[in-house]
Structure 1
């Protein structure tokens, strides 16, 4: 079993965004939940919440607004570790993320390298977020069972 703690930086509006919109439905911006909005991301993972803190990897994948009733994202991403003892290893997440809930859980459905055949859970808690810019820093705790 391995436990990890890191911060995920989702930057939508900046000179160099790490998440960009790739699709939307015709009705997305009339929906209170932005239903149908889809973004591709390559977000940095850091050891502390400050953006200039040591980078340990990237969160690479896609997320989309998949709920009519609240802002619930379908998250499909790989945590790609690029530094330290997990360098070259990945974890795959596929799950539902209700971003306005204080505490969210998403399943780890696989991995590679050190995390081969991983199963586990990733918990997310928003550290900081801006509804206007849609930029956010999210604290993650991950518990993985692997070989």
Structure 2
């Protein structure tokens, strides 16, 4: 009789135990798909944002609204670019020279989102087209104040070799033409994937 009760009890609780284990595995997606934590990857490259000339790589699609009347009869442009939206498909290269070896493209947009200083909300995919990360992407989203000496943007995701990516990018302006707005920016990206 005791043996039959034990078998009956086991038959009732075994499905509950299996169900509980299945729920635990669902809460750990990296374990479920076979991805183990890895050491951080450091990427270093240069971003070339060209808004002037015959072949710009960044195009303003929305201009900032005027700020009101200046001493002349026409309104003055917004000095912080608040409200401006620019779409980009900028080259990424190994070195600061535009002709150095290509590693990919920065595709996305930046919009003026600060009324007090030049500050952008930047949303972009770093699309790698050469080297060991060819075919993979990283997604960055964050605040970029280009006149600050160092800016930090979070890495919020990725594809390919960067699936489940998280990390950050440090941006430093290498060169900026204040007259045209063209710039070369050094990127140091630290990513866990």
Task: With the length of structure 2 as denominator, give the TM-score of the two structures.
Answer: 0.74
Among candidates 42, 59, 64, match of residue 20 of structure 1: 59
Greater fraction strand? 1
Among candidates 48, 56, 60, match of residue 103 of structure 2: 56
Match of 1:86 in 2: 133
Question: Secondary structure of 1:114's partner?
Answer: helix
Match of 2:121 in 1: 74
Deviation by residue 1:46-81 (Cα, 9 ceiling, x = unmatched): 000000000000000000110000101100000000
Q: Which runs of 4+ in 1 moved over 3 A?
A: none
Higher relative contact order (CA 8 A, sep 6+): 1
Q: Which runs of 5+ in 2 are unaligned?
A: 1-39, 68-75
Q: CA deviation at 1:90?
A: 0.2
Q: CA deviation at 1:30?
A: 2.6
CA distance in 1, matches of 2:85, 2:149: 22
Q: CA deviation at 1:14?
A: 1.5
Which deviates more from structure 2 when the two are superposed, residues 102-111 or residues 19-28? 19-28
Q: CA RMSD in A?
A: 1.0
Q: CA deviation at 1:31?
A: 1.8
1:85-124 matched pairs, under 5 angstroms? 85-124=132-171
Matched, 1:10 2:49: yes
Bigger radius of gyration: 2
CA distance in 1, matches of 2:66, 2:156: 32
CA distance in 1, matches of 2:129, 2:92: 10
Q: Contact 2:41–2:190 at 8 Å: present in 1 too?
A: yes
Match of 2:179 in 1: 132
Q: CA deviation at 1:85?
A: 0.9
CA distance in 2, matches of 1:30, 1:53: 36
CA distance in 2, matches of 1:30, 1:16: 24
Task: With the length of structure 1 as denominator, give the TM-score of the two structures.
Answer: 0.97
